[in-house]
A and B are shown apart, each in its own frame.
Chain A
Amino acid sequence: MRRPELLRPAPARPDRRTFLRSSLAAGVWTLSLSPVAAASSPTVPATRPLGFARGLRFDSRGGLTVLSQVVEMGQGTQTAICQIAAEELDLALDRVQVAQAPVTPEYASAQMQPPNYASFGSLGLPLSMAEVGGICAAARALLLQAGAVRWGVPVAACSTRDGHVCHEDGRPPLAYAELLAAAAQLPPPAKAKRKPRAQWRLLGQSAARVDLPAKVDGSARFGIDARRPGMLVATLMHAPRFGAELLAMDERPARAIRGVRRVVRLPGAVAVVADSYWQARRGLLALSPQWSAGPHAETDTEALRLQLRAACQQGQGLSFSKDDDPAIDPAAVATELTRAARVLDLSYDVPYLAHATLEPMNALAEVGPDHAELWLSTQSAQDTQYGVARALGLRPEQVTVHPMLIGGGFGRRLEHGFAVEAALLARTMGRPVQLIWSRETDMRAGGYRPAAAARVRMALGADGWPQALRVDCASPSVLDHSQLSNGEPRPALDWTVSMGWLGHDYALGPKHVSWTRVDPGVPCGYWRSVGASQNTFFMECSLDRAAAWAGIDPLAFRLRLLAAKPQSQALLKALAEAAGWGRPLPPGQFRGLAMSAGNSARSAHIVEISVPAPGRFRIERIVAAVDAGVLINPGAVQAQMMGGTLFGLAAALSGEITLKQGEVQQSGFESYSVLGLAQTPPLQVLALGLGEQPQGVGEEGPASIGPALANALFAASGQPIERLPLSRSGWQLAD
Chain B
Amino acid sequence: MKSHSLNINGRLQRVAAEADKPLLWVLREDLGLSGTKFGCGAAQCGACTVHLDGAAVRCCVLPLHAAAGKRVTSIEGLSATEIGRALQRAWLEHQVPQCGYCQGGMLMAAASLLAEHPQPSDGQIDAAITNLCRCGTYPRVRAGIHAAAASLAAKVAA
Residues of A within 8 A of B (CB): 73-76, 208-209, 211-222, 224-225, 233, 258, 276-279, 281, 355-360, 405-410, 436, 438-439, 635, 639, 642-647, 668-670, 674-678, 680, 683
Contacts and interface: CB of A to CB of B under 8 A. Distances in A.
Nearest to B103: A215
Contacts of A208: 92, 95
Interface of B: 1, 17-18, 21-22, 25, 29, 33-42, 44-45, 47, 74-76, 78-79, 87-88, 91-92, 95-104, 107, 125-127, 129-142
Contacts of A669: 40, 42, 44-45, 132
A692 B100 CA distance: 32
Given A213-B92, A406-B99, A639-B95, A358 B132 contact: yes
A668 B126 CA distance: 22
A360 B34 contact: no
State the main secondary structure of chain A at its contact with B.
loop
B35 A408 contact: no
B63 to A, nearest CB: 10
26 contacts: A74-B135, A212-B96, A213-B92, A216-B87, A216-B88, A217-B35, A218-B75, A218-B76, A220-B35, A222-B101, A224-B34, A258-B1, A276-B21, A358-B102, A358-B132, A407-B99, A407-B101, A408-B99, A439-B44, A643-B136, A645-B136, A668-B40, A669-B45, A677-B126, A677-B133, A677-B138
A359 B92 contact: no
Given A277-B25, A277-B29, A680 B39 contact: no
Contacts of B107: 216
B35 A219 contact: yes
Given A358-B45, A669-B44, A217 B75 contact: yes
Identify the interface centre among B34, B78, B87, B88: most chain A CB within 10 Å of its CB.
B34
B13 to A, nearest CB: 16
A358 B47 contact: yes
B29 A276 contact: yes
Nearest to A669: B44
B40 A220 contact: no
A215 B100 contact: yes
B134 A647 contact: yes
A438 B45 CA distance: 13
B134 A357 contact: yes
B39 A359 contact: yes
B137 A643 contact: yes
Given A218-B74, A276-B25, A358 B136 contact: no
A361 to B, nearest CB: 12
A683 B74 CA distance: 31
A356 B37 CA distance: 15
Contacts of A221: 34
Contact of B76 (A217, A225, A258, A645): A217
Contacts of B137: 639, 642-643
A373 to B, nearest CB: 19
A277 B87 CA distance: 31
Given A216-B103, A408-B101, 6 more contacts: A209-B97, A220-B100, A439-B44, A647-B134, A675-B136, A677-B133
Contact of A678 (B74, B91, B126, B135): B126
A668 to B, nearest CB: 6
Nearest to B98: A74
Contacts of A683: 139
Contacts of A676: 130, 132, 138
Given A212-B95, A224-B37, A358-B101, A674 B138 contact: no
A677 B47 CA distance: 14
Nearest to B36: A218
Nearest to A222: B101
A233 B104 CA distance: 23
Contacts of B130: 676-678
Nearest to A213: B92
Nearest to B125: A677
B32 to A, nearest CB: 8
Contact of B25 (A222, A225, A278, A355): A278
A408 B92 contact: no
Contacts of A359: 37, 39, 99, 101
A358 B92 contact: no
B43 to A, nearest CB: 10
Given A639-B140, A646-B136, A216 B102 contact: no
A540 B77 CA distance: 49
